[in-house]
Amino acid sequence: MSIRIFSGLYPVQPGMEKAYQAERNSYNSQQIKYGGLIAIFISLVLMLRYLLSGGDSKEGFISLLYPFLLAGIVVNALIYYTFNRTFRKRLSLSSYSSFQLILITMFFFFLTGLSIIGVLLSGGLNVYLILVLFISLVIWMKSSQYCLFSILSFLLILFFMYIGAGSREQLISSVIQGFFYFTVGWFLYLSMTSLLMENFYNRVSLEEQYTQLATESITDPLTGLYNRRSLNDDLNKEWALSKRKGAPFCIMMIDIDNFHDINDIFGHTAGDQLIRDVSAILRNAVRLSDKVYRFGGEEFLIIVPETPLDVAASVSERIRKNVEKNSFKGINKTVTLSLGLAQSQEDINVDILVNRVEQKLLLAKENGRNRIEY
């Protein structure tokens, strides 16, 4: 049986590998944390019992390994807690995954050793069942890794069953029981992996929906610019930041001249395309720190942080010229803008500032359009 057969089980969607790996790391970390505490407690109890009983009645090298394997489980768990607390935040995603895999492998070998001792000394498969549950439920491994651990442990148990079997009937009974545990382990692993992956994709889908809803609530569907709903919050934030830093900011209000005539002559489709094209020009003409809003209809507003009025005026003039010299698809005439500018002051509030820029824009229209007033 090739491990590659199982490597494609529950494949991760392209582009989500890192998020899935982070999810698996988080899950494994939580499971190892609680599983390690249980393992420490049980191992200490069994070790104490072994020491108080004076060792197994069947003396020999095999029975002497028993306390060392229990101690290995305890030490392995303590290493995890120490390393995890000290270095987890310093490790990359892949490095932390490698650390977890090493830890899982160590637990696997210690539990496998205890399972073999149990088979040789008593013929019981109780520890092997714990091993099966450990690698199928406690640890969310890749399918290829689980396949390797599961088949390797089962083959080792079968081999030592054959060596330690007292009779043919006992061997057959043990093999049937071991195969049943092996099958249960695969069923649990596939069920758990399927459930965890389904939960992962459901959570990712919900996060994407929340992000989309949040984006749609603050953006204009036609242009992709911020909408008027988000403007008030952003203006208040910018106002508070300006007062704290002592640096003024400006706002520009922009209107496409004679837009209603353009709509009537060239049609609403061309008008909508013109609004999208002007929006793209506005976005490209300002800094990343500046925010562009569709204020309503053919009107736009731009917040220009930490910028005095004369600098904002030069930016406005560049925008006006870019639009005037541009040829727009479906519009066989020159398109111009009217712009109003206003600068924040300590003795006025946000509402007064917006009212002032609206008055400046109205003045630009009254004075012949295709101009800037401030």
Overall average pLDDT of the 9-32 stretch? 74
Could you tell me if 300 and 357 are in contact, meaning their C-beta atoms sit under 8 angstroms apart?
Answer: no
pLDDT of residue 8: 45
Q: What is the per-residue pLDDT across 208-253, written as a single tens digit (0 to 9) for each?
A: 777 666 666 778 888 989 988 888 889 999 998 988 888 899 999 9
Could you tell me if 125 and 178 are in contact, meaning their C-beta atoms sit under 8 angstroms apart?
Answer: yes
Q: Which amino acid is at 183?
A: T
Q: What is the per-residue pLDDT across 87-130, written as a single tens digit (0 to 9) for each?
A: 777 888 778 878 888 888 888 899 999 898 888 887 788 889 98
Residue 15: pLDDT above 80?
no
The angle at the Cα of 179, spanning 177 to 181, to the nearest 5 degrees, equals: 70
CA distances from 122 to 52, 59, 164 (A): 19, 13, 9
Of 306, 281, 304, give the one whose Cα is nearest residue 225.
281
CA distance 289 to 172: 75
Copy the structure tokens of residue 26.
């988080």
**Beta bridge partner(s), residue 255:** 299, 338
CA distance 278 to 272: 10
Q: What is the per-residue pLDDT across 267-310, written as a single tens digit (0 to 9) for each?
A: 989 999 999 999 999 999 999 889 999 998 899 999 999 999 99
**Beta bridge partner(s), residue 300:** 254, 294
Task: Specify whether the backbone of 123 is left (phi greater than 0), alpha (psi in -120 to 50) or beta.
Answer: left
Question: Mean pLDDT over all residues of the chain?
Answer: 85
Could you tell me if 133 and 35 are in contact, meaning their C-beta atoms sit under 8 angstroms apart?
Answer: no
Model confidence at 61, pLDDT cuts 50, 70, 90, reads low
Which residue shows structure tokens 């992956």?
197
- Non-local (6+) Cβ contacts of 5 within 8 A are 147
Residue 372: pLDDT above 80?
yes
Of 111, 38, 102, give the one whose Cα is nearest residue 72.
111
Concatenate the DSSP letters of all residues of 80-119 into one string: HHHHHHHHGGGS-HHHHHHHHHHHHHHHHHHHHHHHHHHH
